[in-house]
């Protein structure tokens, strides 16, 4: 069965950096695009970034463009999100999610909480 397990969340000061990881199993990771989606406490879902199956194309939400970088290592079945210049408004649960065909998202991880606070 498909499993997506996020790690790397925690508390970071404004302006700091954090790298999230997502370990994937139960499917051919190198054949599917992957997303990061976040949800601020008590708020709705916000799409963050997408990377194609081979890493050839990457897309970002305006709110994170230039600060966040999505990447993948198909040899390790792992997805990453490098987050720099973090702001208080980046505080959220970050979900790793498997794409079906450039959306929809058919599987989600359980999420990892990122808190940006001094």
Q: Does 3 sit near another protein (CB under 8 A)?
A: no
Pick from 27, 32, 53, 108 the residue near another protein by CB under 8 A: 108
Q: Which stretch binds another protein (CB under 8 A): 22-30, 43-51, 73-81, 84-92?
A: 43-51
Q: Does 80 sit near another protein (CB under 8 A)?
A: no
| Ramachandran quadrant class, 91 (left: phi over 0; alpha: psi -120 to 50; beta: rest) | beta
Of the pair 59, 71, the CB lying nearest another protein is at 59
CA–CA separation, 82 and 67 (whole Å):
8
The count of residues interacting with another protein (CB under 8 A) is 22
> What DSSP character marks residue 29?
G
Distance (Å) of CA 9 to CA 5, 58, 99, 111, 114: 12, 22, 22, 9, 5
What residues numbered 11-40 form the site for another protein, per CB under 8 A? 35, 37
Of the pair 1, 31, the CB lying nearest another protein is at 1
Phi and psi at residue 63, in whole multiples of 5°? Answer: -70, -15
Q: Does 89 sit near another protein (CB under 8 A)?
A: no
CA–CA separation, 24 and 76 (whole Å):
9
Pick from 44, 66, 75, 118 the residue near another protein by CB under 8 A: 44
Of the pair 32, 59, the CB lying nearest another protein is at 59
């Amino acid at each position: 069965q498909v499993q997506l397990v996020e790690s790397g969340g925690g508390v970071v000061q404004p302006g700091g950096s954090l790298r999230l990881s997502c370990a994937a199993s139960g499917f051919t990771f190198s054949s599917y695009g992957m997303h990061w989606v976040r949800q601020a406490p008590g708020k709705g879902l916000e799409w963050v970034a997408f990377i194609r199956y081979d890493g050839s194309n990457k897309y970002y939400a305006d709110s994170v463009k230039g600060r966040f970088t999505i990447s993948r290592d198909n040899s390790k079945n792992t997805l990453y999100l490098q987050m720099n210049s973090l702001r208080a408004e980046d505080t959220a649960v970050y979900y790793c999610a498997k794409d079906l065909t450039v959306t929809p998202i058919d599987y989600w991880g359980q999420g990892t909480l990122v808190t940006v606070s001094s």
